[in-house]
Amino acid sequence: MPRRAKASKGTKKTARAPRQSREAVQAILDGISKSVAAGATVKDAVAKAGISYSNYNYWRKRAGMAPSRRRTRGAAKAKAAGKGSVLRILQEMTENRSERQRLQAAMSRIEQLDARFRELTKQLEKAGN
């Protein structure tokens, strides 16, 4: 296991900022939301609040204000697939219509052949008597 280097006597440890309470975080997020609604960019609103952008995103996710990236990507794909889906459905409908017409023509031909078969069967019965 590697050892940590000892700090020289002349360096100071930087103190980490104290953790924010849930209420304080929510107040900061609300303030940023109001600033953005008033026309400020998110970057400017976050800087004005005195927090980092990564903290802002982390707090939003924890507060349930931001969808996860997976959902966002899926929604974007679904939205993009919407246009393609309509075109695909129209293409399938056109193909189905032409297939239905082909099948109707085949059924008509089968009915004609059945009628001819019945005629020939009657003729054979008469000839056999």
Per-residue pLDDT in tens (0 to 9) along the chain, 129 residues: 556 655 556 666 677 767 888 888 889 999 998 988 898 888 999 999 998 999 888 888 888 776 655 555 555 555 555 566 888 888 899 999 999 999 999 999 999 999 999 999 999 999 887
**DSSP H or E stretch at residue 47:** helix 42-49
Which pLDDT value is given to residue 65? 75
Q: Are 36 and 28 in contact (CB under 8 A)?
A: no
Residue 38: inside a domain: yes
Residue 41: inside a domain: yes
Residue 27: inside a domain: yes
* Helix 53-63 and helix 42-49, axial crossing angle in degrees, nearest 10: 100
Residue 84: inside a domain: no
The pTM for the full model equals 0.41
d(CA 45, CA 36): 7
Residue 37: inside a domain: yes
Residue 31 is part of which domain span?
Answer: 20-66
Counting the structural domains of the chain, the total is: 1
Residue 32: inside a domain: yes
Residue 129: inside a domain: no
Which pLDDT value is given to residue 108? 96
Residue 58: inside a domain: yes
Which pLDDT value is given to residue 22? 84
Q: Are 33 and 60 in contact (CB under 8 A)?
A: no
**Nearest Cα to 35, choosing from 20, 51, 18?**
51
Which pLDDT value is given to residue 110? 96
